[in-house]
Amino acid sequence: MRRTGATRSALAADPAFAVETAPAAGAAPVGLAGTVSSDLGDGRYEAARRGLAVSGVVPPDRPARVVQVCDAAGVLAALDHASAAGLGVTIRSGGHSTAFTALRDGALALDVSGLDDVSIDHATGTAIVGPGTTSLALAEALAGTGLAFPVGHRASVGLGGFLLAGGNGWNQGAWGSACESVLGAQVVLADGRRTSLDAQTDAEAFAVLRGAGPAFPAVVTAFRLRLWPEPTVRRRTARFRVDVRTALSDLAAAGRWADAFAADLAPEVELTLVLSPGEREEPPVVVASVTAFGRDGDHAEELLAPLGRCGPVEQTTLAPSTTSIPDLLRVDTTPTGTGSVAQQTWTRAGYAEVLPRLARPLAAAPSPLSSVLVSSASYRRAAAPATEPLHRPRGTLTVAAYSTWVPGVDDAANLAWPTAVVEPLADVVTGHYVGELDLRATPERIGRCWEPGGLARVAAVRARLDPAGGLVPPPGWPAVVGPPCSAVETAPHHQERTP
Ligand SMILES: Cc1cc2nc3c(=O)[nH]c(=O)nc-3n(C[C@H](O)[C@H](O)[C@H](O)COP(=O)(O)OP(=O)(O)OC[C@H]3O[C@@H](n4cnc5c(N)ncnc54)[C@H](O)[C@@H]3O)c2cc1C
C-alpha cells in the first residue's frame, strides 16, 4: 500500500485561512476555522470567493460563507452549520466547473480541495483518492508503479467533479469513461449521515453518482478506483494546411482525413483535432493530436502506424513527444489566471461535416488562446464495468469549445463564444456532457445530458438522499426537458472488447 501525503491547496496554504487540524475519529465535530463570511470587510472574502473556481473571471455570485475543510469530519461540521443557519450547500473540489456550480448567491460553499489523499493498493490494483486530487497528482502517484487510471486531460482538473460527471479521460477508447472505473465512494449526506455507496449498498444511487455531475446530492469524501495496467505512451501531431481563401474546403479535407484515419484506429489510440483561431486575419490552425497507449514501446509504435499512411498534412512530428501520462499533462501551456468557460455537444456527424461548420465561429473568436476540441466519444472498452453508470456518451464525436482569455479583455464576448461555436451544430446534436456545459448560458441543456429517463433517475435519488434539498442543485434544475435531440439511440459503438 502506498500513500502520498496530502498537498493542501494554495488557499489552505494561505495563513489567512488557518484550516483547522483534522480531529481524531470520534472526536467532537471541528469548528469552522476555515470559514470566510461575506460580511468580512477585507480582501479575504473576495479571494475565497474567487478561489471557488480556477477561472480568472468568475460570475458575481456572493456565497454567504466559504468553508474549507480537510477531512470528512470537517465536511460534517460544515453541513451541520449550513443546516442550522438555513444555508444551501455548494461544493468545490478542483474548481473546474464550466458552470461555476460552487459559486452561488447566499450558499455555504464547501471547499473540499484539501481532501486530496491518494492511497494505492498494488495487491488489488485499486486506489482510494480524495475528491480534491487532481489529474496530475494521481497520474504522478501512479507513474512507474505498473498501474494507471484514465485521468482527465488537464493537469489541474479535480477528480471530484470529473468522476461525478462521467470523466472523459486519457485512453478512454480502451478503458471506457473514468466513472466506469469507480468501484465505490464514501459520502456524507446533507443531514450528516455518512455512508458508502457501491453496487451492493445502493445500486441506483451508485449509478447516479457516476454521471449526475453537479446534480449528485451528497458530498463525496473519497472514491475507490479500479486501476489499469500502466501503458507506454507515444504521441504524434500533424498540422493541416488551411488557407484563408479556401478555409471551408481545407477544413472539410482535414475532416475527411480524420474520418478515414479514425476508421482505421485501434481503441488504444486517441485522436483529437484541436482547432485554434488564427491571429489577425490568419486562417484557423488545425492540429491532429494522436496519442497511443501501448503495452510496450513496440506496440505503441504499431498502434501509430496508420499515421504514416496519412495524406494532406503539413508536418508530422515523428519523434515521440511524450512517454507517460504525467508528461501528457505537463505539456499544458495555458497561462495561469486566464478566464475559462466551455460548451460541449455530442454528435453522430463525422469530422468532415463538423469542421467546416466551425469556420465562422473560429474566425469570430475574441481570444487567440481559445480552442475547439473535436474527438472521438466512442469506445470499445477493455472490460465492462461491474454495473452500468448513468453516464454514457450520447454520440460518436464530442465537440468541446473552450474560451481562454486574458481577464478584462472582452470578458462578455469570451464568455459567450463557446455557446456560439456549437450553435451551427444544432441540427446534429445528440446530447451534451454535463461536465463541460455552460449551464449558466444554456440551463435547459441539462435535460439532454442523459438517456431518456436519466433525468427522472437523478431526481428520484435526489429526493431520497437529500429530501430537504440541502445541496444547491445546478443551474437548470429542475430541468425543463427540451425537444428530443436528433438521432439519439443506444450507442451501437459501445461494443465490448475482449482484453
Ligand atoms: C480546463 C478544463 C479542462 C477539462 N478537461 C476535461 C477532460 O479532459 N475530461 C472531462 O471529462 N472533463 C474535463 N473538464 C470538465 C471537468 O471535468 C468538469 O468541469 C468537472 O466538474 C471538474 O471537476 P472539479 O472537481 O475540478 O470542479 P469543481 O468546480 O470543483 O466541481 C464541479 C461540481 O461538481 C460537484 N462536485 C465536485 N466535487 C464534489 C464532491 N466531492 N462531492 C459532491 N459533489 C462534488 C459539485 O456540484 C461541484 O460544484 C475540463 C474542464 C476545464 C475547465
Nine-digit cell string for 92: 468545490
Residue 155 Cβ inside 6 Å of ligand 1? The answer reads no
**Rounded average pLDDT over 48-63:** 95
Determine the Cα–Cα distance for residues 149 and 157; give it in Å rounded to an integer.
14
The confidence band for 386, taking pLDDT boundaries of 50, 70 and 90, is: confident
Q: Which residues pair with 344 in a beta bridge?
A: 400
Q: How far is ligand 1, taken at its centre, from the CA of residue 478, in Å? A: 20
Ligand 1 atom closest to residue 178's alpha carbon, by position in its atom list:
11
Q: Which residues pair with 269 in a beta bridge?
A: 292
Residue 136 Cβ inside 6 Å of ligand 1? The answer reads no
**Rounded average pLDDT over 194-218:** 97
Distance of alpha carbon 238 from its chain centroid, rounded? 25
- In this prediction, residue 6 carries a pLDDT of 39
Nine-digit cell string for 255: 475532416
Determine the Cα–Cα distance for residues 162 and 239; give it in Å rounded to an integer.
30
Residue 157 Cβ inside 6 Å of ligand 1? The answer reads yes
Note whether 370 and 284 are within 8 A (CB): no
Q: How far is ligand 1, taken at its centre, from the CA of residue 223, in Å? A: 14
Q: In Å, how far are 272, 278, 285, 496 from 247, measured between CA atoms?
A: 19, 11, 10, 39
Residue nearest to atom 51 of ligand 1 (CA): 96
Residue 104 Cβ inside 6 Å of ligand 1? The answer reads no
Q: Which fold has domain 232-447?
A: Vanillyl-alcohol Oxidase; Chain A, domain 3 (3.40.462)
What percentage of the chain reaches a pLDDT higher than 70? 85
Residue 95 Cβ inside 6 Å of ligand 1? The answer reads yes
Residue type, 308: G
Ligand 1 atom closest to residue 187's alpha carbon, by position in its atom list:
42
Least confident of 352-366, 376-390, 468-482: 468-482
Q: How far is ligand 1, taken at its centre, from the CA of residue 65, in Å? A: 21
Residue 93 Cβ inside 6 Å of ligand 1? The answer reads yes
Q: How far is ligand 1, taken at its centre, from the CA of residue 333, in Å? A: 20
Least confident of 107-111, 366-370, 430-434, 475-479: 475-479
Residue 436 Cβ inside 6 Å of ligand 1? The answer reads yes
Measured between its terminal Cα atoms, the distance across the chain in Å is: 26
Q: Which residues pair with 4 in a beta bridge?
A: 118
- In this prediction, residue 213 carries a pLDDT of 98
Nine-digit cell string for 156: 489541474
Note whether 88 and 471 are within 8 A (CB): yes
Residue extents of the structural domains in the chain: 232-447
Residue 284 Cβ inside 6 Å of ligand 1? The answer reads no
Residue 222 has pLDDT above 50, yes or no: yes
Among 157, 332, 477, say which to mutate for ligand 1: greatest number of ligand atoms within 8 Å of CB. 157
Residue nearest to atom 53 of ligand 1 (CA): 96
Closest CA to 230 of 172, 295, 182: 295
Residue 168 Cβ inside 6 Å of ligand 1? The answer reads yes
Long-range contacts for 48-51 (Cβ within 8 Å, ≥24 apart)?
48/11, 48/17, 49/103, 49/109, 51/9, 51/10, 51/11, 51/95, 51/111
Least confident of 29-43, 153-167, 187-201, 481-495: 481-495
Residue 5 has pLDDT above 80, yes or no: no
DSSP summary character for residue 400: E
Residue-wise pLDDT tens digits, 296-308: 999 999 999 888 7
Residue 155 has pLDDT above 60, yes or no: yes
**Rounded average pLDDT over 31-52:** 77
Residue 236 Cβ inside 6 Å of ligand 1? The answer reads no
Determine the Cα–Cα distance for residues 167 and 164; give it in Å rounded to an integer.
7
Q: How far is ligand 1, taken at its centre, from the CA of residue 141, in Å? A: 20
Q: Give the sign of the dihedral formed by CA 439, CA 378, CA 422, CA 328.
A: positive
- Which residues, in sequence order, are CB contacts of 21 under 8 Å at separation 6+? none
Residue 55 Cβ inside 6 Å of ligand 1? The answer reads no
Q: Count each helix (H run) and each strand (E run) in the chain, helices first.
A: 14, 20
Residue 40 has pLDDT above 90, yes or no: no
Q: How far is ligand 1, taken at its centre, from the CA of residue 301, in Å? A: 33
